[in-house]
Amino acid sequence: MPYANLKIPAGTLTDESKKKLRDAVTDAFATVYGERARPNTLVILEEVPDGGWSLGGTVLNEGNLGRV
């Protein structure tokens, strides 16, 4: 079973954007493994709480990442 665990900053994606992301990852697995993988592909989006990320010493949050 293909499995993807994606960590995203909390509050930065709308429900529609999350669905698009899950669908895109599922499509990618189906492209590589064939359509037989689609019904068995597990995609988990984990939202990391605001301030739980940093890049180059800068804390990333909804304020500086925006909402898509």
Map 2-64 to HEC letters: CEEEEEEECCCCCHHHHHHHHHHHHHHHHHHHCHHHHHHCEEEEEEECCCCEEECCEEECHHH
Q: What is the pTM of this model?
A: 0.80
User: Structural domain tally of the chain?
Assistant: 1
Query: What CATH number is attached to the domain comprising 8?
Result: 3.30.429.10
Provide the residue-wise pLDDT of the chain in tens; the chain has 68 residues: 899 999 998 888 999 999 999 999 999 999 999 999 999 999 999 999 878 888 899 888 777 777 66
Which domain, by its residues, includes 47?
Answer: 3-65
